[in-house]
Amino acid sequence: MRSQASVLHLDLDAFFAAVEQRDKPSLRGKPVVVGGVGGRGVVATASYEARVHGVRSAMSTREARSRCPHAAFLSGRFHAYREASRVVMGLLREVSPLVEPLSLDEAFVDLERADLPDLEVATVTDFAQDLRRRVHEATDGLTASVGLATSKLVAKIASDLDKPDGLVVVAPGTEQELLRPMRATIIPGVGPATAERLRRAGIVTVADLEAAGLDELVRLLGRAHGGGLHQMARGRDDRAVVAEREAKSVSVEGTYDTDLSDLRLIEGLLARQAGEVATRLRAAGLSGRTVSIKVRFHDFTTLSRSTTLASPTDHGPTVARSARALLAELVAGPDTGPQVRAGVRLLGVGVSGLADWVQEDLFADDADDETEDEELPEPPRARHLGAWAPGMDVEHAELGRGWVWGAGRGVVTVRFETRETPAGPVRSFPDDDPALTPWSPTEPDEDEPVSGPA
DNA sequence: TCTGGGGTCCTAGGACCC
DNA sequence: TCTGGGGTCCTAGGACCC
């Protein structure tokens, strides 16, 4: 723990939804829900207007639609989110060389490495306000909430206290009195399962946590977690802000709108995912030794199987071959075989045990490469979703740029507006109209919607 | 038709080695 | 006959985060 409030945590408010409202002027001030729009989708982000109606992250989209039927339900444009994130992270790095992104919309910044005359509360407060203003300006209107404290733990909690568009500085020495009355779940890492275990032991607040002995917490939660909480409850947190963190795994998974039971289709989809994982490994200059598959059954029970190769790979057919072998073991299992045949809702492939170098594979089997030409199956899609996902950017040969308002029954409805040209007309087209094409800014790489293949 | 996708970290047991 | 430890690697599953 530091003696001054020099750890800054910045969190962009309702990030995905805010980017949509920025780029789609007709949605400003209206409820917007970004997430999976298929039958099994969940909410990634809801705008504050939608939250008023009880829509929350991680809620099923079905539930969100029933709570807020008049919201705009969009499937997400990751290129736009990545771009906005890039701008913000760049700005933070201008301020301090020590920036630790936690996700597209969140980062820690170490102010000990910033160019400040001192780290007194008044100084860092002014600094943070200026930073928030600069984020707003650089992103064309996004707002950020900021927390400043003597540790990561308290800075992160602080940034959440005055959302949206807020700033909370926790003066050094006041951490304990801030945390004590709060629920234990305020501490990152205390989720539903941990909270329930604690509750059964009579521990509900941070003060309860503080009063509990180390032995008791370790007994309840294990050595690492229990020990960590014992420290956190006292506001003790010495974790450093770390700029570079290496990836440990790369994975692709998908939930399908209808359960799969055709083994050939399942195999084909796994092979396709293996190819995507390998492509991403190569793009990142990584390779890995452990190949895993993940299978979720119709009843939501989930299992994983993994195998470790003799040397790291970034080769699609090699990953696919391992994935298929793991699937074959499941299919042959006396318990798991019938489960697979009864219906699979999710499939995934991952590679871990990563090395940041690619070993020449001296034993490469050329026959593997044949599978690269194989015709891979398309995942089953929801009937109402074709190539036109709600929210996506499109361009019409005569009418210019806009976004997909809705699609279905052979018709696409487009609202012709952009950030610069608000309040354009709404028009419908046959969904195979050659004048209408998806519009993608600069990024050549494909963007999967939040909903994935569903 | 409740329950995404992409990650990280931890635990626990078994194999294997010294 | 008795009965070690410690360390590392691997696998499976679970909790959690955004």
Return the CATH number of the domain spanning residue range A177-232.
1.10.150.20
For residue A194, say whether its CB is under 7 Å from any atom of strand C. Answer: yes
For residue A250, say whether its CB is under 7 Å from any atom of strand B. Answer: yes
Q: Return the bridge partners of A415, or none.
A: A403, A426
Amino acid in position A7: V
Label residue A374 by pLDDT band (50, 70, 90): low
Tell which residue, A76, A8, A7, has the closest CA to residue A44.
Answer: A76
Say how far apart CA A274 and CA A59 lie, in whole Å: 29
For residue A190, say whether its CB is under 7 Å from any atom of strand C. Answer: yes
Question: Exposed/middle/buried for A343, CB within 10 Å: 0-12, 13-18, 19+?
Answer: middle
Average pLDDT in chain A: 92
Give domain A249-373's CATH superfamily: DNA polymerase, Y-family, little finger domain (3.30.1490.100)
What are the structure tokens assigned to A168, written together?
């909370």
Q: A105 among the known binding-site residues?
A: yes
Q: What is the mean pLDDT of residues A347-356?
A: 94
pLDDT of residue A447: 42
Give the CA A306 to C1' C8 distance in Å: 18
DSSP H or E segment with residue A28: none
pLDDT of residue A375: 66
With a CB cutoff of 8 Å and minimum separation 6, the contacts of A26 are A415, A417, A422, A423
Over residues A27-53, the pLDDT tens digits come to 999 999 999 998 999 999 999 999 999
- pTM for this entry: 0.93
What are the structure tokens assigned to A280, written together?
């991403």
Task: Write phi, then psi, for A207 (nearest 5 degrees).
Answer: -60, -40
Fold equal for A177-232 and A249-373: no
What are the structure tokens assigned to A96, written together?
């301090």
| Chain C bases near protein CB atoms (7 A cut-off) | 9-18
Over residues A75-119, the pLDDT tens digits come to 999 999 999 999 999 999 999 999 999 999 999 999 999 999 999
Which amino acid residue lies closest to nucleotide B7, measuring CA to C1'? Answer: A249
pLDDT at A451 over 50: no
For residue A222, say whether its CB is under 7 Å from any atom of strand C. Answer: no
- Chain A residues 22 to 81 whose Cβ lies within 7 Å of strand B are 35-36, 39-42, 44, 57-58, 60, 62
Q: In the CATH hierarchy, which top-level class contains the domain A1-170?
A: alpha beta
Say how far apart CA A80 and CA A77 lie, in whole Å: 6
Give the CA A212 to C1' B6 distance in Å: 35
Angle at A257 (CA atoms; ends A253, A258), nearest 5 degrees: 110
pLDDT of residue A452: 35
pLDDT of residue A32: 98
Label residue A363 by pLDDT band (50, 70, 90): low
For residue A311, say whether its CB is under 7 Å from any atom of strand C. Answer: no
A106 in catalytic set: yes
Label residue A369 by pLDDT band (50, 70, 90): low
Region of poorest pLDDT, from A228-232, A256-260, A381-385, A413-417: A381-385
pLDDT at A449 over 50: no
pLDDT of residue A243: 94
Give the CA A124 to C1' B7 distance in Å: 32
For A264, half-sphere exposure in the C-beta direction (CA atoms, 13 angstrom radius) is 4
Domain ranges of chain A: 1-170, 177-232, 249-373
- Of A49, A100, A106, A417, catalytic: A106
Tell which residue, A349, A345, A350, A307, has the closest CA to residue A329.
Answer: A307
Amino acid in position A61: T
Give the CA A290 to C1' C10 distance in Å: 10
What's the Cα-to-Cα distance from A224 to each of A189, A218, A239, A392, rounded to whole Å? 11, 8, 14, 44
Q: A433 among the known binding-site residues?
A: no
Cis peptide upstream of residue A164 (ω within 30 degrees of 0)? yes
Which nucleotide lies closest to A160 by the C1' atom and the CA atom?
Answer: C18
Which amino acid residue lies closest to nucleotide C18, measuring CA to C1'? Answer: A103
Q: What is the mean pLDDT of residues A422-436?
A: 93
pLDDT of residue A1: 84
Say how far apart CA A430 and CA A290 lie, in whole Å: 46
Give the CA A123 to C1' B5 distance in Å: 40
Query: DSSP for A302-354?
Result: EEEEEEEEEEEE--HHHHHHHHHHHHHHHHHSTTHHHHHHH-EEEEEEEEEEE
